[in-house]
């Protein structure tokens, strides 16, 4: 591994220049997967043969003098809730543990069309419901920085895979922080694009008004490169946006002079671990030294983000997960003579879904039920509008809003599994971007005293991922964190 380039951009350039073959790159990353998976458990499925065949095809295209795609020969890992044609896709759920999709998610198809090599499907919380990857039917993922810690969730396998050098790019999905929080916990970059920027076609739906797919990488430049490939209108997703997609790599000027960075001080100071707050303040000072202006902003409704999020996401989940009825696909219980259709549904779902998924289906069904709808779901949607207004107001005076990604560094495995509410509270800084639809990025901004990674989150205007990537890249250049994150 050490002799091969570590970033997607460098791998792509080295393959294109003939300095290394795509097969060599692929084999080195597969070796890394084999070496680390017994301890990390980051992959549910590894597809070595398929990957090597795809890499050989890239090498053959190069030998024939064909034009190579922008990610030709770059290994990628795909979260296991994104459909891959002919390759098992489980959402880390027992209910789908043998499901082989007959089609690709648009994002997977676009990556492969750009020459990227899928090495495997990454472990995650079941149906992306969780903040620690402990709600997986395939067991928890371990944090590569400290094996007794969570890598975060729900895209914990994707984050661990990138941090451990199994692939320079992984795709994650983010409904309330599932790209950004694991990126923060594993010392890498994670971008949740604007709602509608990236197609959700082929993403196993959790909460459809919040879900977005996005890149997890070591550098902002690699996130930009990935966005160039996956972003843009898709007729298969009615919520995908027709807004023009800029060249995100062109935005990486290294310059943040004049960038106005908003800090919601009252919100950020509450209940945050001291090392996180210190790292956050240092990061803000670094941006200031690089020429950014720091402005106080207020997000008065942000503290309501958790209750609003957990009402909206459970309501949508209860509806989305109704499709797993054991009739057309997925786990079906063993039937005995005399069992009714009702028994088949009930027992299949009881056996197939884990405890957190069941909790959310029940909570969601309750908040949507007659008599409670107005008090819960409708109220949550109203507060969601207030939150949108808070951000509209803030973006009158700033270009990005800065917060820690998570109030704590990665916590210990098992620490919060007995108390769902404590687990939910860890999402306080990430959920509002999803509720409002805004793009947000997490970038490494240091370590605590135990050398556990800490992340800085920047939230931007609708469809302004370019500014987030520019700021992230400039910050990276001004610090040593990305170098450390790729050891």
Among 101, 115, 120, 130, binds ligand GLN (CB under 6 A): 130
CB atoms closer than 10 angstroms to residue 103: 14
Least separation in angstroms between residue 313's CB and ligand GLN is 5
Stretch of 169-177, 222-230, 248-256, 367-375 lying at the interface with ligand GLN (CB under 6 A): 169-177
136 as an active site residue: the answer is no
Residue whose token pair is 């550098």:
219
We find the least distance from the C-beta atom of residue 128 to ligand GLN, in angstroms, to be 4
Does 427 bind ligand GLN (CB under 6 A)? Our answer is yes
Contacts of 219 (CB under 8 A, 6+ apart): 7, 9, 189, 473, 476, 482
457 binds ligand GLN (CB under 6 A): no
| Structural element, H or E, at residue 416 | none
Annotation marks residue 39 as catalytic? no
Between CA 157 and CA 45 the distance in angstroms is 11
141 binds ligand GLN (CB under 6 A): no
Neighbour count for residue 328 (Cβ, 10 Å): 7
3-class state of residue 276 by DSSP: helix
Q: Does 191 bind ligand GLN (CB under 6 A)?
A: no
For position 81 contacting ligand GLN by CB under 6 A, the verdict is no
How many residues contact ligand GLN, by CB under 6 A?
13
Which residues fall within 8 angstroms of residue 207, CB to CB, at 6 or more apart?
A: 175, 176, 312, 313, 315, 316, 317, 320
Q: Which two tokens stand for residue 376?
A: 């819960």
Give the whole-angstrom CA distance, residue 330 versus residue 345.
Answer: 12
Does residue number 134 form part of the binding site for ligand GLN (CB under 6 A)? Answer: no
In angstroms, the CA 119 to CA 359 distance is: 33
From residue 285 to residue 324, the character string flagging contacts with ligand GLN as x (rule: CB under 6 A) and all else as - is ----------------------------x-----------
CB 452, min distance to ligand GLN, A: 19
Secondary structure of residue 364 in the 3-state scheme:
helix
Tell me: does residue 176 bind ligand GLN (CB under 6 A). Answer: yes
Beta-strand runs (E) in 384-476: 400-404, 440-447, 453-460
Query: Residue from 55, 128, 169, 326 that binds ligand GLN (CB under 6 A)?
Result: 128
CA distance 6 to 4: 6
What minimum distance in Å lies between the beta carbon of 56 and ligand GLN?
Answer: 35
Nearer to ligand GLN, 146 or 183 (CB): 183
Beta strands 117-122 and 43-46 are antiparallel
Listed ranges 59-67, 122-130, 288-296, 471-479: which one lies at the site for ligand GLN (CB under 6 A): 122-130
From candidates 21, 154, 405, 406, binder to ligand GLN by CB under 6 A: 154
Number of H helices, E strands in the chain: 17, 11
Residue nearest to ligand GLN (CB): 178
- Angle, alpha carbons 204-209-212 (nearest 5°): 55
Q: Smaller CB distance to ligand GLN: residue 353 or 475?
A: 353
129 contacts ligand GLN (rule: CB under 6 A): yes
For residue 263, give both structure tokens.
């800090």
Q: CB nearer to ligand GLN: give 427 or 465.
A: 427
**Any contact of residue 177 with ligand GLN (CB under 6 A)?**
yes
Contact range with ligand GLN by CB under 6 A, out of 4-12, 171-179, 435-443, 446-454: 171-179
Which of 93, 132, 136, 154 is the catalytic position? 154
Residue 79 annotated as catalytic:
yes
Binding site residues, ligand GLN, CB under 6 A: 128-131, 154, 174-178, 206, 313, 427
Task: Give the residue numbers annotated as catalytic, written as ranges.
Answer: 79, 154, 178
């Amino acid at each position: 591994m050490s002799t091969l380039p570590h970033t997607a951009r460098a791998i792509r350039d080295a393959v294109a220049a003939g300095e290394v073959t795509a097969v060599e790159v692929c084999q080195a990353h597969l070796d890394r997967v084999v070496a680390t998976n017994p301890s990390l458990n980051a992959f549910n499925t590894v597809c070595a043969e398929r990957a090597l065949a795809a890499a050989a095809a890239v090498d053959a295209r190069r030998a024939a003098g064909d034009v190579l795609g922008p990610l030709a020969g770059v290994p990628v890992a795909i979260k296991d809730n994104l459909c891959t044609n002919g390759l098992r896709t489980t959402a880390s759920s027992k209910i789908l543990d043998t499901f082989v999709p007959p089609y690709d998610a648009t994002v997977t198809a676009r990556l492969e069309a750009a020459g990227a090599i899928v090495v495997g499907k990454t472990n995650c919380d079941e149906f992306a419901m969780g903040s620690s990857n402990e709600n997986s039917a395939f067991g928890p993922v371990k944090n590569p920085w400290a094996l007794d810690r969570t890598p975060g969730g729900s895209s914990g396998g994707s984050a661990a895979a990138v941090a451990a050098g199994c692939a320079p790019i992984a795709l994650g999905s983010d409904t309330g922080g599932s790209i950004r929080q694991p990126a923060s916990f594993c010392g890498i970059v994670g971008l949740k694009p604007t709602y509608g920027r990236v197609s959700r076609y082929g993403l196993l739906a959790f909460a459809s008004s919040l879900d977005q797919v996005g890149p997890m990488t070591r550098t902002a430049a690699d996130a930009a490169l990935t966005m160039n490939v996956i972003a843009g209108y898709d007729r298969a997703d009615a919520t995908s946006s027709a807004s023009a997609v800029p060249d995100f790599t062109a935005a990486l000027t290294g310059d943040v002079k004049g960038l106005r960075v908003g800090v919601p001080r009252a919100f950020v100071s509450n209940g945050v671990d001291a090392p996180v707050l210190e790292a956050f303040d240092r990061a803000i000072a670094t941006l200031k030294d690089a020429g950014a202006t720091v402005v106080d902003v207020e997000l008065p409704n942000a503290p309501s983000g958790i209750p609003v999020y957990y009402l909206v996401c459970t309501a949508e989940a209860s509806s989305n997960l109704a499709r797993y009825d054991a009739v057309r696909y997925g786990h079906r219980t063993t039937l005995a003579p005399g069992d009714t259709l009702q028994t088949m549904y009930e027992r299949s779902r009881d056996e197939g879904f884990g405890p957190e998924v069941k909790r959310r289906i029940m909570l969601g069904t309750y908040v949507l039920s007659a008599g409670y709808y107005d008090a819960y779901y409708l109220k949550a949607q109203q507060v969601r509008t207030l939150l949108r207004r808070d951000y509209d107001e803030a973006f009158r005076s700033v270009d990005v809003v800065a917060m820690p990604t998570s109030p704590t560094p990665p916590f210990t495995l098992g620490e919060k599994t007995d108390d769902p509410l404590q687990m939910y509270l860890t999402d306080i800084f990430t959920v509002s971007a999803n509720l409002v639809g805004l793009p947000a990025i997490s970038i490494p901004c240091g370590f605590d005293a135990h050398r556990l990674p800490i992340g800085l989150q920047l939230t931007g205007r609708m469809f302004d991922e370019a500014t987030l990537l520019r700021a992230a890249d400039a910050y990276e250049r001004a610090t040593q964190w990305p170098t450390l994150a790729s050891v």
